[in-house]
Chains A and B, each alone.
Chain A
Amino acid sequence: MPGRGNLLWTGFGVLALVFLLSPLALVVFFSFAENQNATFPAGGATLHWYGVLFDDPDFWKALGNSAIVTLTVGLVSMVVGTAAAMTLARTRPALANALIGVITLPIMLPPLVLALALATGYSSLGLPLGLGTVIPSHVVFTQPFVILVVHAQMASFNMAVVDSARDLGAGPWTIFRTVILPIIRPTLIGATLMAMAVSLDDFIITYFTIGGGMTLPTMIWGMLRKALDPSINALGALVLVATVGTSLIALRLTRYRG
């Protein structure tokens, strides 16, 4: 009896895996393929499309902007999100869950709505659009990830450890620095990397709040709207490697499995 059922489940699992991964694998595959239509037969292997991409000054501009946004957003989300998660860990659970429900609203709603709300708001205030408007617009939907992950870790945190440190004479800041931080550091870094991956990959909110500038995703969008540009596979592959790589490190550090 188990043999047949297991076979069916294994088949389903393989299909699920293929469904999840093959679109991404094909993008990476065609970024190294000679066929400029990105269809089979793929032709020989080449680094040509990466060469084309690296010769494009726009790419370096977009990369620079993405780096600035991603790093700043990661840092701010980490500090702001951790401070919030620490306080939430000491709040009674019902209230804490309600507050988390509120602060995670920005990731529940379609990004288009938030993007238009922000764009409308900025324009009526007369704020010049640019990286300065992109960064806080990202933090509002990256900080929930840090709060969720760090708060989940704090929920399983052995509070007797904090009591012990207090009992041995440590003040709040010393306790955070010498006891809590060393224990949660991997989670903290992992959560920050998650926030960075989300920020790096964001297109919709960036598109509406950046004005004339460009990040890697908005550059992809530009290439998608122009005539077929095969180096889009190279750019897509780079963005994928960056976000998936960041996520993998984050998963390893946080041991977050859902």
Chain B
Amino acid sequence: MSGPLLRLDTISKTYRDVTAVHPLDLEVGRGDFLALLGPSGCGKTTLLRMIGGFLPPTTGRVEIEGRDVTALGPEKRNTNMVFQGYGLFPHMTVAQNIGYGPKIAGRDPEQIDLDVVRMLNLVHLNAVADRLPAALSGGQQQRVALARALVMRPAILLLDEPLAALDLKLRKAMQDELKALHKAIGGTFIFVTHDQGEAIDLANRIVIMEAGRIVQQGTPEDVYRRPASRFVASFVGDANMLPARRVGAEVAIGGGRLPAPGVDGDVLVVIRPDDVTLDATCPIGLDGTLAECRFMGPYQRLTVTLADGTQVIVHRPSGADAAPLPGVGDAVRLGLPPAACSVVAP
């Protein structure tokens, strides 16, 4: 089939006098692993619940596989959701939880048993099939929720902050598991998160939302390397923002020039701390003094104060072969590779 799997057309959600999601368009292709990323209250969960059919949109339409499903509730949509806090049925065993959807759908009982076993294998829960959710660990509950949704073979799997309830170590493990699962079943996943690291690691496409609007979308590398706005630059990863001026579609900084189409005026030059070098031969160079040097484990975090008082953060690998550092208080020259710089509105 051609065309996107999911198409949102000028969809919006307004509660009384508060607009949670401003009219927006979005297309999601088959096999995508899409992250809706943004701070809390940005409208990402509202958007996800409109895709799932839990909230009727105020305006616009939702199409799945070319079919208009705007008026359909979640029970009639070919999407399934993994809820924040999982929403497992506390009075049903793991196997009963997973078999609930197929049973409602009226699938053949023998087929249900097979499906449930297949799912238990997929998420490695055979050993606890007859336990109640309360007897499971957080990670296990998470996997039951996944299996319960996936057994329905949804066209799109929706995940609402799927890893938020897990501790750091478990979260990393589940991240790997989710990735493997996506690869194994080749489905389309859309997940909501406020954790940029999680989005970058899991997704092949990230949609960044701010105050009910999509502010940027692209591959993880796109949004990290080429942030479209000051908000994106600061929300996704650490960023140095250096004030500069744009004149004639160019920004002059540190003796070099960056091409930057747009009207003349104040701008910010954005560069990631790990892109800043101490290489004096770089075409763009900034002079400053080393104010602080902190050991962060895998890297060192240098703070350099420029002549105008701006502070620039530099990350340098702290491996054994790392070049020797200047001392605190010494003058240093920072190199900004032009390809790593982006120009955004202040």
Binding site for B on A (CB under 8 A): 158-171, 174, 178-179, 182-183
In the complex, chain B residues whose CB is within 8 Å of the CB of A178: 100
- Whether B81 and A163, one on each chain, are in contact in the complex, defined by CB atoms closer than 8 angstroms, is yes
Question: Which stretch of B72-80, B118-126, B184-192, B286-294 is in the interface?
Answer: B72-80
27 contacts between A and B (CB under 8 A): A158-B87, A159-B87, A160-B86, A161-B87, A161-B88, A161-B89, A162-B87, A163-B54, A165-B89, A165-B104, A166-B54, A166-B73, A166-B74, A166-B75, A167-B54, A167-B79, A168-B75, A168-B101, A168-B104, A169-B76, A169-B101, A169-B105, A170-B75, A170-B100, A178-B100, A183-B89, A183-B90
- Whether B75 and A158, one on each chain, are in contact in the complex, defined by CB atoms closer than 8 angstroms, is no
Could you tell me the distance between the alpha carbons of A165 and B76 in the complex, rounded to whole angstroms? 12
Could you tell me the distance between the alpha carbons of A159 and B91 in the complex, rounded to whole angstroms? 14
Nearest chain B residue, comparing its CB with the CB of A162? B87
In the complex, chain B residues whose CB is within 8 Å of the CB of A169: 75-76, 101, 104-105, 152
A188, chain B: closest CB distance, angstroms? 13
Could you tell me the distance between the alpha carbons of A190 and B222 in the complex, rounded to whole angstroms? 58
- Whether A167 and B74, one on each chain, are in contact in the complex, defined by CB atoms closer than 8 angstroms, is yes
Secondary structure at the B interface, as helix, strand, loop or mixed, is mixed
The count of A-to-B residue pairs whose CB atoms sit within 8 angstroms is 65
Could you tell me the distance between the alpha carbons of A163 and B148 in the complex, rounded to whole angstroms? 13
Nearest chain A residue, comparing its CB with the CB of B91? A182
B77, chain A: closest CB distance, angstroms? 8
Nearest chain A residue, comparing its CB with the CB of B87? A160
- Whether B90 and A161, one on each chain, are in contact in the complex, defined by CB atoms closer than 8 angstroms, is yes
A178, chain B: closest CB distance, angstroms? 8
Could you tell me the distance between the alpha carbons of A13 and B109 in the complex, rounded to whole angstroms? 58
Nearest chain A residue, comparing its CB with the CB of B73? A166
Could you tell me the distance between the alpha carbons of A167 and B78 in the complex, rounded to whole angstroms? 9
Could you tell me the distance between the alpha carbons of A159 and B86 in the complex, rounded to whole angstroms? 10
B100, chain A: closest CB distance, angstroms? 6
A177, chain B: closest CB distance, angstroms? 11
B164, chain A: closest CB distance, angstroms? 13
Which of B54, B76, B84, B91 has a CB less than 8 Å from the CB of A183? B91
B52 contacts partner chain A, Cβ-Cβ < 8 Å: yes
- Whether B90 and A167, one on each chain, are in contact in the complex, defined by CB atoms closer than 8 angstroms, is no
Could you tell me the distance between the alpha carbons of A174 and B90 in the complex, rounded to whole angstroms? 16
Nearest chain A residue, comparing its CB with the CB of B98? A168
Other contacts beyond A162-B87, A163-B74: 15, CB < 8 A: A158-B90, A160-B85, A164-B87, A164-B88, A165-B89, A165-B100, A167-B54, A167-B74, A167-B79, A167-B149, A168-B80, A168-B100, A168-B148, A168-B149, A169-B101
Number of interface residues of B (CB under 8 A): 25
Nearest chain B residue, comparing its CB with the CB of A172? B75
Q: Known contacts being A182-B91, A183-B91, is A164 close to B104, with CB within 8 Å?
A: no
Could you tell me the distance between the alpha carbons of A182 and B91 in the complex, rounded to whole angstroms? 7
Q: Which of B94-108 contact A (CB under 8 A)?
A: 100-101, 104-105
- Whether B104 and A170, one on each chain, are in contact in the complex, defined by CB atoms closer than 8 angstroms, is yes
B83 contacts partner chain A, Cβ-Cβ < 8 Å: yes
- Whether B81 and A167, one on each chain, are in contact in the complex, defined by CB atoms closer than 8 angstroms, is yes
B110, chain A: closest CB distance, angstroms? 19
Across the A-B interface, give the 3 residue pairs with the lowest CB-CB distance, nearest first.
A160-B87, A168-B101, A164-B87
Nearest chain A residue, comparing its CB with the CB of B160? A160
- Whether A167 and B75, one on each chain, are in contact in the complex, defined by CB atoms closer than 8 angstroms, is yes
In the complex, chain B residues whose CB is within 8 Å of the CB of A179: 89
Output the residue of A165, A168, A183 with the most chain B CB within 10 A: A168
In the complex, chain B residues whose CB is within 8 Å of the CB of A158: 85, 87, 90
- Whether A174 and B104, one on each chain, are in contact in the complex, defined by CB atoms closer than 8 angstroms, is yes
Which of B85, B86, B152 has a CB less than 8 Å from the CB of A168? B152
In the complex, chain A residues whose CB is within 8 Å of the CB of B90: 158, 161, 183
Output the residue of A164, A165, A170, A183 with the most chain B CB within 10 A: A164
In the complex, chain A residues whose CB is within 8 Å of the CB of B75: 166-171
A137, chain B: closest CB distance, angstroms? 37
In the complex, chain A residues whose CB is within 8 Å of the CB of B89: 161, 164-165, 179, 183
Could you tell me the distance between the alpha carbons of A248 and B149 in the complex, rounded to whole angstroms? 41
B62, chain A: closest CB distance, angstroms? 15
In the complex, chain A residues whose CB is within 8 Å of the CB of B104: 165, 168-170, 174
Could you tell me the distance between the alpha carbons of A179 and B91 in the complex, rounded to whole angstroms? 8
In the complex, chain B residues whose CB is within 8 Å of the CB of A165: 89, 100, 104
Nearest chain A residue, comparing its CB with the CB of B76? A169
In the complex, chain A residues whose CB is within 8 Å of the CB of B76: 169
In the complex, chain B residues whose CB is within 8 Å of the CB of A182: 91
In the complex, chain B residues whose CB is within 8 Å of the CB of A166: 54, 73-75
In the complex, chain A residues whose CB is within 8 Å of the CB of B105: 169
Could you tell me the distance between the alpha carbons of A178 and B90 in the complex, rounded to whole angstroms? 12
Q: Which of B42-86 contact A (CB under 8 A)?
A: 52, 54, 73-76, 79-81, 83-86
In the complex, chain B residues whose CB is within 8 Å of the CB of A160: 83-87
Could you tell me the distance between the alpha carbons of A220 and B33 in the complex, rounded to whole angstroms? 73
In the complex, chain A residues whose CB is within 8 Å of the CB of B87: 158-164
B344, chain A: closest CB distance, angstroms? 38
Which of A161, A167, A171, A174 has a CB less than 8 Å from the CB of B52? A167
In the complex, chain A residues whose CB is within 8 Å of the CB of B74: 163, 166-167
Nearest chain A residue, comparing its CB with the CB of B158? A167
Could you tell me the distance between the alpha carbons of A179 and B149 in the complex, rounded to whole angstroms? 16
In the complex, chain A residues whose CB is within 8 Å of the CB of B84: 160
Q: Which of B136-153 contact A (CB under 8 A)?
A: 148-149, 152
